[in-house]
């Protein structure tokens, strides 16, 4: 039975990856310090003998006893509110964390896939974004901690590939959604659905003409699976190229939920990307991958998952408390 370590296992993407690899007959070792992850995403796996969980911070040290065939490094805060509140922890997991994971991969002779992001392109001047585009990032802006952590992570991974001959894979993930997203993490999709379910007006930043492309989580997981088992060591975009403005998206959510709320407009945050759409030519050619789930279908599933949340979760207003994770 192949054995895989998944960091960030209690998060949105990490937990879905745990499910997929267990279904595929893998032994899964999950690791998470729970700074943004939630054990409720994994509780259905705890009875399974193929799954073990380690409550650890990969930025400090990573040790897994026994053999390992694969590592997926998915540990990182991923919403703007998170990485504005814990900027140093965000930088550390993309630098110290990846260094520790690469060292473990080298020691175990394991193949490692790292979760990079479309944020490496910053506020792009090229549209749609291909893997050859170097990006337009403000390294000292408020979002720079996340963007540069991921860019450094890619550089460190390629250094281990070229210098040590390590088997590495790099995925650049575009906006992804689905069940298990944190309702109040500040990202646009859970924010809109949460506001609609609570009967609040939907908040759009700027004029709402900035664009995003949303990929359903099952499609993304399939892309990760294919990339991990490919022979391609360079970055690959995985996302849905079906582009929509944020204002149009808000209107879609109101239609989906059948609510009567207004759309209210607020100032655009600093360095917020004006456009985002993946060029997935490489994923199609190398992996035979493209998204299958339409936005309408994926939103219905996600809406039902959010609708089933307990009221105390739905109406919880405060963001995650990071006090215990911050060194004074």
Contact, 89 vs 75, CB < 8 A?
no
Q: Are strands 111-117 and 70-73 parallel, antiparallel or unpaired?
A: parallel
Rounded CA separation 133/124 (Å): 9
Measured in whole angstroms, the distance separating CA 187 from the mean position of its chain's CA atoms is 11
Q: Is 324 helix (H, G, I), strand (E, B) or coil?
A: helix
The catalytic site residues sit at: 146
Q: How many CB atoms lie within 10 A of CB 169?
A: 23
Helix segments in the chain, DSSP class H: 12-23, 80-85, 87-108, 144-164, 188-198, 217-228, 246-257, 281-282, 295-307, 311-314
Contact, 34 vs 55, CB < 8 A?
yes
């Amino acid at each position: 039975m192949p054995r895989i370590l998944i960091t960030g296992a209690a998060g949105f993407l990490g937990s879905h990856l745990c499910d997929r690899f267990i279904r595929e007959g893998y032994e899964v070792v999950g690791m998470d310090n729970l700074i943004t992850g939630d054990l409720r995403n994994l509780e259905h796996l705890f009875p399974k003998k193929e799954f073990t969980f380690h409550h650890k911070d990969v930025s400090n040290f990573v040790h897994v006893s026994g053999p390992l065939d694969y590592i997926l490094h998915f540990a990182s805060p991923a919403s703007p509110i998170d990485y504005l509140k814990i900027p140093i922890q965000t930088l550390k997991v993309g630098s110290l964390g990846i260094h520790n994971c690469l060292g473990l991969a080298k020691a175990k002779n394991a193949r490692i896939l790292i979760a990079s992001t479309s944020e490496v392109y910053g506020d792009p001047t090229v549209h749609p974004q291909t893997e050859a585009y170097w990006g337009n990032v403000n390294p000292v802006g408020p979002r720079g901690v996340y963007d540069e952590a991921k860019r450094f992570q890619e550089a460190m991974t390629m250094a281990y590939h070229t210098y040590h001959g390590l088997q590495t894979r790099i995925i650049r993930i575009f906006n992804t959604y689905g069940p298990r997203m944190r309702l109040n993490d500040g990202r646009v999709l859970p924010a809109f659905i949460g506001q609609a379910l609570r009967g609040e007006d939907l908040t759009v930043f700027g004029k709402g003409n900035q664009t995003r492309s949303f990929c359903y989580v099952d499609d993304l997981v399939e892309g990760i699976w294919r990339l991990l088992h490919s022979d391609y060591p360079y970055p690959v975009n995985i996302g849905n190229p079906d582009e929509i403005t944020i204002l149009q998206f808000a209107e879609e959510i109101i239609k989906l939920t059948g609510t009567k709320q207004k759309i209210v407009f607020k100032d655009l945050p600093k360095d917020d990307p004006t456009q985002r759409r993946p060029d997935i030519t490489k994923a199609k050619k190398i992996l035979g991958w493209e998204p299958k789930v339409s936005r309408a279908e994926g939103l219905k599933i996600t809406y039902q998952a959010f609708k089933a949340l307990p009221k105390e979760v739905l109406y919880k207003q405060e963001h995650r408390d990071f006090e215990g994770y911050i060194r004074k």
